[in-house]
Homo-oligomer: A and B are copies of this chain.
Amino acid sequence: MSLRHQSVDAWPTRDRILYEASRLIAARGFHGATTRDIAEGVGIRQPSVFNHFASKQDILAELMVFDLTVPAERAEQLSFETVSPASRLYRYAAWDLRWYQEMPFDLRGMQEDLVNMPGMEEFQQALERWTKAIGRILDQGLAAGEFRADAAPFVPAILDTLSWEFVRSSHHHADDATRLNTDDGAAFVLRGLLVNPDDLEAVIGEVAQTGGRPGGGGTS
């Protein structure tokens, strides 16, 4: 079912365009990734790309759904739940890192500034919603005395980077043995953030009790 479980060559052309575009945008940036390069990677001629997407920007927009819209939705869900802030942040981080690890596309080129392009307002708002949702969880944790005030400002940027790191690792080591562990990544963030790092075990336990599953739909 999932694209991840098939060889890229077996994907529909439309998905292969998304895949090649994501790799090239990650490698050279949006403006450096040309429609000719994308087409060449897919094995078609450049104008044929426009039979699947109305514009180059539409390819970007579809990739941004995976990078911004879906994570924003998940962060908002968790920001309104009732378990402890620490537990919710851990759950979000673990979900986020898994999301990027299992992502078939290479989203490292989806830089923040791209949402400022005309026509990308939808994703500008998704980014804002994500930032606010994470900010809510952080504020709740600060108010509850769970989080360190001198560490909280770094958390959004660190979640971002760890996401990229898991994309990178999933594209470089295909075998499960050398893969980075998503729970270790989430634990790293929490250890730096918690006033009492020794509470981490309990926080993780709380997650298991409320039955949080990494869940979320397919990728295509």
Partner of A157, one of B164, B181, B184: B164
Q: How many copies does the complex hold?
A: 2
* Size of A's binding interface in residues, CB under 8 A: 31
Partner of A187, one of B28, B150, B157, B189: B150
> Which chain B residues border A28 with CB–CB below 8 Å?
29, 31, 113
In the complex the two chains form, what is the Cα distance from A98 to B32 in whole Å?
31
A153 CB within 8 Å of chain B: yes
Is the beta-carbon distance between B29 and A184 smaller than 8 angstroms?
no
Q: Main SS of the interface on chain A? A: helix
Interface string of A169-207 (1 = CB under 8 A from B): 000000000001100110111011000010000000000
Knowing A29-B32, A113-B28 touch, does A157 contact B161 (C-beta < 8 A)? yes
Is the beta-carbon distance between B150 and A184 smaller than 8 angstroms?
yes
